[in-house]
Structure formats: structure tokens, C-alpha cells
Amino acid sequence: MPVPQTSDSVADSAVTARAVPGPAALFRGFARVGLSGFGGVLPWARRLLVETERWLTAEEFNVLLGLCQFLPGPNVINLAVAVGVRCCGWRGAVAGVLGLMTGPFLIALLLGLLYARYGEIPAVQSMLYGVTLVGAGLIIATGIRMGINVKQRAVYLPFAAAAFIALVVLHWPLPVVMIGGAVLTVSLSWWQLARQARVVRT
Amino acid sequence: MSLLLDLFISFFLVAFVSFGGASAVIPEFYRIVVTEHGWMDARVFTELFAIAQAAPGPNVLIVTLIGQHVDGWQGALAATVGMCLPMSLVVGLLFKHWDRLQDWRGRAAIQLGVAPLAVGLVLASGTLIAHSAMPGWAGISLVVLTVWLSLRSRLHPLWLILLGAVFGFTGLV
């Protein structure tokens, strides 16, 4: 099963978005995305939105995704809301999220029931232990990929390291780290952007 | 009823600081459901995490599994809606008025400033999850191998998850 890539290509950006889907089409489209995504659904969302259905251009997708990733909350659900609301208001947002979540939600319930029944079997526990370690590794890899994409790495990656140490070594509460950290980093980026704007004007 | 409300409110509050998505705040889920409320032990928590990784769909499904373990399908629904609703409303409002925000400097500043924190949060999350599974050297090697394979090869994550299950089953880790 080939994985569609999230990076954009010249060929994609030449394609213009045309169709504006209704709630039913949004529901069906996002339902396909939700069920095809093992280990992350974002690449599949891109394939649907940009390549198959052409509801967005590659550029629009990158902007929307960038925003949905920097906002808190489940990224793909944010994306479904953003696309839905742009297409047909709140009805579109609800249709997109329900489409995305209904199938995986029911499958999760089924797996939960199987776990409640067979979870005590030692072989099952050993398999899940191995999967936990791989899952942790996948999340660390995602973090590294996100770190490579941070702009002005020399300035901002020390903040990433500080947040990591505060959470892992010092065990500070997460809301404190995130809200305190955001006040610092956003003030810095605001000041940088304000200075750039002044330089451009003079 | 109060259990459902507890689930809903707990995840509703975490949603506001879940920069980097659901997988970034898994240690916070752990703190709430294992340490604070004692709804499950550490082993069950890591096993539910493993199931969520192996299941199709968004990684927010760990919340669904936690909710179900605590209070059946109603718990699953309360926890999932609690986690998804707050930012869905914010994103919906934001994008309805998107054109007006396009040139606002605050938007660019937030985008630039929040990204590194999300990186720290996601890396911390992966590290703390691995730590909570209490791996030996073999287990730590599997985590490192996964990171390396995930960054260096174009292998589908599902293959890596399968690899983890095989390693676990055969007792290699």
C-alpha cells in the first residue's frame, strides 16, 4: 500500500480547486480518509482533498494544515472542521468530523471489547508491549520531523529543548509549560516580526 | 452520571493545551486517568495506547479507548467529544472569519512561536510513553530502531507496528 506524501509538488500546485462539496460529499470523503489511515491519516487527507476530489489546491492545503497543526486539538479533526466550514458552514464542519470519526470510533469500541475479553492473555500483553515501544518511537520520529521544519532553528529550538526538559526531567505540569512557554516564544516572534516590518518600511 | 461528566471535563480541559495533537498530550492523559483518578493501572494504559496505534483512524482514538475502559460506550463518547469539541469550535469560528485574519501579525507570531513548543511536547510525549512501558535495553533499542527506520526509510508505519508485535510476541524485547 503506497503512502501518499505530504510534500507538495509542482504538478499539484498547477491544478486548480474547482468543486465545492456539500455536506453529504464531505461526510463520504472524510469517511474514506478516516478508515484508510493506519498510523496517521494526514497523508490520506491530502490525497483526498488535493488529488482525488480537488476541493483545495496544494497551496491552500499547506496553509490550512499549517494552521491546524499549530492550533491545539487533534490535527486531522481541526482540518475536517476547517475544510467543512469553508465549503458549507457549520453543517459542513459537522459532516466532515462525523465522517472522519464514525468508522474509526466504532472500530475502536470493537477493539476495546476484544481487549476487555482477551487482554489478560500473556501473549496478547507481550505483543501490545512491543507495539507500545514502536508507537513511542513513531511519536519521537514525528517530533524530530517537526523540529526539522521549525523556522529559525537556532533561535527557537532551544525553547523546544527547554519544554522537553521541563516536562520529562522536572515533571512540571503541562499547562504551566505550554502557557508559560507560549507567552515567551510568541512575545519573541511578535517582537521579531514587528522589527522586520519596521525595517521594510524604512 | 458524574463519572461521564468527569471524563468529559477532563478531556475538554486537556484539549486546550494539546499543541501538536492528541499524541502530544498522552502523558497528560496518563496523569489524569492513572495518577489522579486511578481509573486504570499503568499497564492497561500503555496497552490501550498500543491498541490505538494499531487501529485505523486519527490518533485521538486513544481517548475513545480510555473512555470506553472507564465507562463503556457512553464513556467513550463523553471522552471523545470532550477532546474534539473545544478546538473544533475555535477552528470553526476562526475559519469563518479567516479572510480578516490573514494579514494580522499575531497570526504569524503565534505560528512561529508555538511550533517549537509543540516539538518539545511531542518529543517529551514519546519519551514518557516509552518510559512508562519500563523497557530494558532490548526495548530501548526497539524504540531507537523505530525512530531510525521511520526517519530513514519510507516504510509504512503499519509495518513497524507489526514488527513491534512480532518482537513482543517472540519475547525479543
Q: Give the Cα separation of A182 and A179 in Å (integer).
A: 5
Selected residues 37-66 of chain B with any CB under 8 Å from a CB in chain A: 43-44, 46-61, 64-65
- For chain B, say whether A45 makes contact (Cβ under 8 Å): no
Per-residue model confidence as pLDDT tens digits over B67-121: 999 999 999 999 999 999 999 999 999 887 766 777 778 878 887 888 899 899 9
pLDDT of A15? 47
> Hey, are the CB atoms on B76 and A34 less than 8 Å from each other?
no
Gyration radius of chain B's alpha carbons: 18
* Helix, strand, coil % in chain A, rounded to nearest 5: 80, 0, 20
- Inter-chain touch A127–B105, beta carbons under 8 Å: no
Written as nine digits, the cell of A58 is: 496544494
> Strand, helix or coil at A156?
helix
Q: What's the N-to-C CA distance of chain A in angstroms?
A: 54
Q: Cα–Cα distances in Å, from B23 out to A79, A89, A115, A187, B50? A: 16, 28, 21, 26, 12
Q: Using the beta-carbon criterion (under 8 Å), do B161 and A134 form an inter-chain contact?
A: yes
- Which pLDDT tens digit goes with each residue over A122-169? 999 999 999 999 999 999 998 998 899 888 999 999 999 999 999 999
**pLDDT (tens digit per residue) in A1-18:** 444 544 444 444 444 545
Residues 6+ apart with CB under 8 A from A148: none
The complex's ipTM works out to 0.92
**Is A126–B171 a contact, with Cβ atoms under 8 angstroms apart?**
yes
CB of A112 less than 8 A from some CB of B: yes
d(CA B54, CA A89): 33
Q: What is the mean pLDDT of chain A?
A: 86
